[in-house]
């Protein structure tokens, strides 16, 4: 919707499509290298704390510029800057993949939340953004962008809250010998912290 309501949407099809294709290629490339950048230069928590706010600010600025400007050059620059958001998005995925120490709990939580997110938010994203973009000829693209910013803010707030106020007790949440302690009511009091191999806990993905 932001693309269609901008001046780029009314330009020559060849230039408009080429711009979109290049921006998409940039996004794919950034997604592919995000894991290496995260591991080698930042670490997951720092990567999220840096690039999630960058994603929020970048989305707000780019959608606002696309909405208010008639310059095809500026709109094109914004199209090339928006793929930077992939770092923030991938940071959320990296964090969710490592936040829960036990693989079986992690797979359940991430599987349920991922599918719910896809069903509720992603599947309706274009409908909601199209509706918002149609609310104003001048500021419709900005309204569509604010919806994306809102989703990013909610996600980032949830991550900060979970990271700050919740911790996983490996004794309580890790399964020993294939037995789920929450179903068995066995607390495994005889197992010390030294017996817990954190590397093995996180390596089961």
The pTM of the full predicted model, rounded to 2 decimals, is 0.71
The candidate with the shortest Cα–Cα distance to 128, out of 117, 137, 115, 140, is: 140
Using a 10 angstrom Cβ sphere, with 0-12 exposed, 13-18 middle and 19 or more buried, the burial of residue 127 is exposed
| C-alpha neighbours within 13 Å on the C-beta side of residue 128 | 14
Mean pLDDT of the chain: 77
Give 131-148 pLDDT, tens digit per residue: 888 888 788 888 888 998
Contacts of 84 (CB under 8 A, 6+ apart): 30, 54, 55, 58
Alpha carbons 88 and 58: distance in angstroms, whole number? 10
Give 75-130 pLDDT, tens digit per residue: 889 989 999 999 999 998 888 888 777 677 777 777 888 888 888 888 888 888 88
Q: What angle do CA 76, 54, 97 make, to 5 degrees?
A: 115
Q: Give me the pLDDT at residue 47, please.
A: 93
Q: Give me the pLDDT at residue 29, please.
A: 94
Alpha carbons 38 and 51: distance in angstroms, whole number? 10
Q: Give me the pLDDT at residue 199, please.
A: 40
Q: Percentage of the chain with pLDDT > 90?
A: 27
Contacts of 177 (CB under 8 A, 6+ apart): none
């Amino acid at each position: 919707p932001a693309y269609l309501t901008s001046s780029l949407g009314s330009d020559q099809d060849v230039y408009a499509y080429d711009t979109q294709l290049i921006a998409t290629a940039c996004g794919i490339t950034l997604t592919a290298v995000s894991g290496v950048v995260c591991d080698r230069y930042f670490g997951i928590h720092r990567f999220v704390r840096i690039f999630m706010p960058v994603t929020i600010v970048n989305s707000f600025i780019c959608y606002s510029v696309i909405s208010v400007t008639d310059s095809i050059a500026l709109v094109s620059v914004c199209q090339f800057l928006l793929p930077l958001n992939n770092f923030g998005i991938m940071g959320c995925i990296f964090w969710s993949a490592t936040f829960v120490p036990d693989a079986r709990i992690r797979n359940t939580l991430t599987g349920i939340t991922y599918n719910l997110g896809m069903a509720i938010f992603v599947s309706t994203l274009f409908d909601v953004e199209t509706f918002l973009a149609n609310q104003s000829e001048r500021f419709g693209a900005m309204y569509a962008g604010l919806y994306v910013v809102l989703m990013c803010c909610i996600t980032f707030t949830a991550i900060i809250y979970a990271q700050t106020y919740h911790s996983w007790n490996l004794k309580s949440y890790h399964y020993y010998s294939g037995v789920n302690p929450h179903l068995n009511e066995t607390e495994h009091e005889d197992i010390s912290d030294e017996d817990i191999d954190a590397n093995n806990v996180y390596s089961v993905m």
